[in-house]
Structure 1
Amino acid sequence: MTGTTDPRIPFGTAAPADDTTLRLLSTSDLAGLDISLADVVGTVEGAYRTLAAGRSDNPRKVTVKPSDGHSVAYAMLGRDGSRDVVAVKTSYKHGLDKGRQEQHYYTTLTLYDDVTGLPVAMMDCGRVGSLRTPAVSALLARECATPGARSALVIGTGTQGRLALPFLLTTLPGLDRLMLFGTHPEGIEAVRARLRAHFPDRDVEVVTDARAAAGDADVVVATAGAHTPAAVESADLAPGTLSILVGHGLAPSTLHRADRVVATSEAQMNVTGTDMADADGKLPAVDAEFPPVLAGVTAGRTAPLERIFAYNSGLVVTDIALGHRFAQLALEQGLGTRVPLWR
């Protein structure tokens, strides 16, 4: 719809240098963009390194949640210093007191060019988040897993669980035992399908006892929803195990009894990790934040037999970097729609 009665303009149409129209990228626009796992990992890693160098800004997220807990909303503002891009991300989930099929989830990312002062794009941030989060887990595993790690357990088969293993194999190609705990048959099959799409010669071992399987894993990635029956305890983990919390599936003891705690952001963990608090409502101090670990300033692991707990909370600078990468790819393919919002 690009006629004179419709104010929208096709994304690929040339725009003047002072154009302030907003480019919209929908879920379907982004779904067709081809990007490799290595490209995603490299983009996310670059965002962390720029943050560690002090060239980016990632303020603490703002959260609102009603007293009955039926919904939660976040707002995140940030600036990527390597791309000179400012962005705002919003995230809203409704129906937390209901089953997965009854929940509603919306997330958007709006990017602005901090050199020209003009808008870049507004996009659905679902695919960005679905790629960014497992990429961060894979980077955590690369930096913090025990040397020679060979086995991994993923807990959960939702959005984050489905790409956890392909990303882990991207950064830890030596993994030779891949385990999965899930309670939804369709989710289990989706995990298998995603794994074979990226690594056709690999398959996953489905386990029915998450706690027992955790004892055989060098890396445990917990991505499950709040209603998961899985609750791996610290005592279930072998010496040297790295446990990464993305969603649910790890009991608080894995954090409080860890030999070392690493977080993408301690401030973010204190906001979104309250379900891991002890009986007094407290969380332990973080031993290392992940951006300095990636930059080589701080050690991720200090001993082979350390049990390390890693908290993976999203940093908006990684969304900005990956979102900007998607915007570039979309522009090259003429995808999206320009809307004269400010006219």
Structure 2
Amino acid sequence: MRILTRSDLARVELVPSEVISVVEESYRALASGLSVNPSRQTVKPPDGHSVGHALVGRDGTREVVAFETSYRFYPRRERQYTTLSLYDDESGLPVALMDCARIATMRAPAASALIARECAAPGSRNALVIGTGVQGRQALPYLMATMPGLERLMVYGTHPDGLRAVRGAVPGEEVEIVEDLRAAAGEADVVLAAAGPKTPAAIEAGWLRPGALCVLVGYGLASSTLHRADRVLATSAARMAVTGTDLADARGRLRPVDVELPEVLAGSAWARLDADERIFAYNSGLAATDIALGHHLAQKATARELGQVIDLWR
């Protein structure tokens, strides 16, 4: 078994277009039935001081079975550990046991970029990113990989270092820092909300222009953008029903999902039906994309002889 640490994986270079290609392939495999993406199992203590997740999935394109685990501990300083173990389902041999943190930081912006490519109205030129954390900093490089025609790039955030990092993530491109969020939202063709839970941002549906696309990765959108949308897309309707409960209306209900991203990418459904539709998209993680991206990373790391090979079963 090859053990790949966070430091090992940081030495593997991947450009946004490469990551997007792997993620798109995994969505297509899921839509075709080649891959299996079951629900995760979750455990919590009564006082809620920690949470553990576990799931198993299979990538039929790569012939890989994987187990993904996540453990988050909240008291005092928050700690989180995620792992992915991969097995070759043709040879029956283990591939790698690896840290999973980097996978999530790439998978989410890649999915958002695919959503934007499929859902943005024709002629979209203006993009607004909300948040300057890990996801906010990754958003624009990935978005520009699928929408090279973007002309105006805007960012809203409250942390000076984060704002500088967002600007630095797209060298040679001018990134406009906005303070009037309502005005910026009204001018944006694509709004990507990737802020943390403490953000003061909460864009309302009435602020958006006709044809606008809103993509929710973290926080930054009010629930009205979901409930008043003309069309709703999700990477997974089942995952949205579990993790999107903060968007529920006064009766505890979510706006139904009209279409899922895997079927759009597979060509079996339309993302947008009209140029003036306001679309809400919910981007949640799926095991299928993590498996594909993790396997791709493991292959590149193995080619460079990174990590340490150990015999766990000797």
TM-score, scaled relative to structure 1: 0.88
Is 2:147 the partner of 1:172?
Answer: yes
Correspondence for 2:177 among 192, 206, 224: 206
Q: Which residue of 2 aligns with 1:298?
A: 269
CA distance in 1, matches of 2:81, 2:181: 30
Q: Which residue of 2 aligns with 1:61?
A: 40
Correspondence for 1:112 among 70, 77, 87: 87
Letter of the 1:47 partner, please give it. Answer: S
What's the offset of the Cα at 1:266? 0.4
Which range moves more in the overlay, 136-145 or 102-111?
102-111
Q: Which residue of 2 aligns with 1:153?
A: 128
Is 2:4 the partner of 1:25?
Answer: yes
Asked whether the 8 Å contact 1:110–1:123 carries over to 2, the reply is yes
Correspondence for 1:334 among 291, 296, 305: 305
Correspondence for 2:107 among 114, 123, 132: 132
What's the offset of the Cα at 1:59? 0.9
Gap change, CA 1:38 and 1:193, over 3 Å in 2: same
Correspondence for 1:182 among 144, 157, 173: 157
Which runs of 5 or more structure 2 residues have no equivalent in the other structure?
none
Map 1:191-230 → 2, pairs under 5 A: 191-196=166-171, 201-230=172-201
SS in 1 for 2:34: coil
Map 1:29-108 → 2, pairs under 5 A: 29-66=8-45, 69-95=48-74, 102-108=77-83
What's the offset of the Cα at 1:265? 0.4
Letter of the 2:191 partner, please give it. Answer: V
Map 1:180-329 → 2, pairs under 5 A: 180-196=155-171, 201-329=172-300
CA distance in 2, matches of 1:321, 1:176: 32
CA distance in 2, matches of 1:42, 1:177: 25
What's the offset of the Cα at 1:69? 5.0
SS in 2 for 1:268: helix
Which range moves more in the overlay, 164-173 or 56-65?
56-65
Instruction: Please report the RMSD computed on the Cα atoms of aligned residues, expressed in angstroms.
Output: 1.5
Asked whether the 8 Å contact 1:211–1:230 carries over to 2, the reply is no
CA distance in 2, matches of 1:105, 1:137: 24
Letter of the 2:296 partner, please give it. Answer: R
CA distance in 1, matches of 2:69, 2:237: 20
Q: Which residue of 2 aligns with 1:4?
A: none
SS in 2 for 1:180: strand
Letter of the 2:68 partner, please give it. Answer: K
SS in 2 for 1:83: coil
Letter of the 2:96 partner, please give it. Answer: A
CA distance in 1, matches of 2:218, 2:239: 14
Which runs of 5 or more structure 1 residues have no equivalent in the other structure?
1-21
- How many residues align? The count is 314
Letter of the 1:53 partner, please give it. Answer: S
**Who wins on radius of gyration, i.e. which is larger?**
1
Gap change, CA 1:68 and 1:260, over 3 Å in 2: farther
What's the offset of the Cα at 1:192? 1.6
SS in 2 for 1:215: helix
SS in 2 for 1:160: helix
CA distance in 2, matches of 1:77, 1:219: 34
CA distance in 1, matches of 2:48, 2:185: 30
TM-score, scaled relative to structure 2: 0.96
